[in-house]
């Protein structure tokens, strides 16, 4: 049997399987149930949150043999053809590779022909922001007066590059990132069904590194699963090494030395991290998360902590929160957030990270 990657195997096939986007899904289902369906849809949001998935499910709902429905049967010829990517009335264009006006014109010229086997002829243009100015003008013409049997879906990860004339003629659906809670629960369900042995803490690490994208999370899980033997339990220590992430104890040590302004100890930690392949971009992200966590603790300082009921790690974090001011925390976060620029543009990530440390060093020195 041909192997199917997780992101394809677990791609939702109906609206009830969509992760997150509760109110967006409800709106689409209502429009289908009440037969109040817009002809042009614009789906925007970061990669891996479900833009093309929603477009494909919508196409299935409109062309299902049982009629227009919010719950496609997934058994009829049309539904099965759509799921296999063989439905003749579903035309998909990747605008990232087809940016020329001739490419869009060839596709749009087919709009004058009625559907061959479905109720609607559906066009999906992915990464539409990559189209040229002339291509947008060609698209605008069909969006103004599309034939009744035409449905046009356009998807983008960069809504700011879409002309306002295009946006105004579409039903704009903004898809936000998927919450860590939803991603964690989804991964927990998948690992159980796929019989992947993995610790809960390890799943949380994968969720945290997904950046709100289900596809990112599934691809990371795929990568980790492929690197271990079958039935081997995946532990968080292994994931830290594999993904190039600093574990929380070393993040705490690094944060303490940054606050203490002890450069010798900071460089020792960084040198050890570099030897085992820890990426500087991940170190920056880990520090931002850590200082944000400390900030939240300071905001909720009224809540009394009982040291005998929390781990030693949490005790150290709580004690550290007492030693640093909220103002300093926000400055560190600001420098680190801006520091992404240094990492990308410096001669090496190490130099970029050290420039951030120099700014913090100067701030602490001037404060004294």
pLDDT tens sequence for the chain (368 residues):
577 888 888 999 999 999 989 999 999 999 999 999 999 999 999 998 999 999 999 999 999 999 999 999 999 999 999 999 899 999 998 888 877 788 788 888 888 889 998 899 999 999 999 988 888 988 998 898 888 999 999 999 999 999 999 999 999 999 999 999 999 999 999 999 988 888 888 888 899 888 889 999 999 999 888 887 776 778 778 888 888 888 888 899 999 888 888 888 888 888 888 888 888 888 888 899 899 989 888 887 655 555 556 778 888 888 888 888 888 888 888 889 888 777 878 888 888 888 888 888 888 777 76
Cβ neighbours, 10 Å, residue 215: 19
Answer for the pair 151, 170: CB distance below 8 angstroms, yes or no: no
Answer for the pair 54, 20: CB distance below 8 angstroms, yes or no: no
Cα 20 from Cα 95, distance rounded (Å): 26
Which is the CATH superfamily of the domain at 6-174?
Answer: P-loop containing nucleotide triphosphate hydrolases (3.40.50.300)
Burial group, residue 312, by CB count within 10 angstroms (0-12, 13-18, 19+): exposed
Map out the domains of the chain as residue ranges.
Answer: 6-174, 181-243, 248-367
> Residue 175, Cα to own-chain centre: how many angstroms?
11
- The CATH label, of 3.40.50.360, 1.20.272.10, 1.20.120.420, 3.30.70.60, for the domain at 248-367 is 1.20.272.10
Cα 217 from Cα 204, distance rounded (Å): 10
Query: In the prediction, which pLDDT does 174 show?
Result: 94
Q: State the pTM of this model.
A: 0.84
**Domain covering 181-243, topology:** Helicase, Ruva Protein; domain 3 (1.10.8)
Query: Is 181-243's fold the same as 248-367's?
Result: no
Query: In the prediction, which pLDDT does 74 show?
Result: 92
Q: Is 245 left (phi over 0), alpha (psi -120 to 50) or beta?
A: beta
């Amino acid at each position: 049997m041909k192997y199917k990657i997780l992101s394809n195997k677990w791609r939702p096939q109906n609206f009830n399987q969509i992760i997150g986007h509760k109110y967006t899904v409800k709106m689409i289902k209502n429009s289908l149930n009440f037969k109040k369906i817009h002809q042009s849809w614009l789906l925007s949001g970061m990669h891996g949150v479900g833009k093309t998935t929603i477009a494909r499910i919508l196409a299935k709902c409109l062309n299902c043999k049982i009629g227009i429905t919010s719950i496609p049967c997934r058994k009829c010829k049309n539904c099965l053809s759509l799921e296999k990517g063989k439905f003749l009335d579903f035309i998909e264009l990747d605008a990232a590779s087809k940016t020329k006006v001739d490419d869009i014109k060839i596709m749009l010229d087919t709009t004058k022909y009625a559907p061959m086997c479905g109720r609607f002829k559906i066009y999906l243009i992915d990464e539409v922001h990559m189209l040229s100015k002339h291509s947008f003008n060609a698209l605008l013409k069909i969006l103004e007066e599309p034939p009744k049997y035409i449905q046009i879906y356009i998807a983008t990860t960069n809504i700011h590059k879409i002309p306002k004339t295009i946006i105004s003629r579409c039903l704009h659906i903004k898809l936000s990132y998927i919450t860590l809670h939803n991603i964690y629960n989804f991964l927990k369900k998948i690992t159980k069904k796929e019989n992947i042995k993995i610790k809960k803490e390890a799943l949380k690490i994968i969720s945290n590194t997904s950046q709100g994208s289900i596809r990112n999370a599934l691809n990371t899980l795929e990568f980790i699963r492929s690197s271990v033997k079958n039935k081997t339990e995946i532990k968080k220590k292994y994931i830290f090494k594999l993904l190039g992430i600093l574990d929380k104890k070393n993040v705490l040590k690094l944060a303490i030395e940054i606050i203490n302004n002890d450069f010798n100890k900071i460089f020792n930690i960084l040198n050890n991290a570099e030897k085992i392949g820890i990426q500087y971009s991940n170190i920056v992200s880990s520090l931002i998360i850590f200082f944000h966590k400390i900030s939240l603790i300071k905001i909720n300082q009224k809540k009394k902590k009982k040291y005998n009921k929390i781990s030693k790690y949490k005790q150290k974090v709580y004690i550290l929160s007492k030693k640093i001011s909220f103002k300093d925390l926000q400055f560190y976060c600001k420098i680190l957030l801006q520091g992404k620029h240094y990492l990308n543009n410096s001669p090496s990530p190490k130099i970029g990270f050290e420039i951030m440390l120099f700014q913090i060093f100067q701030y602490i020195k001037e404060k004294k």
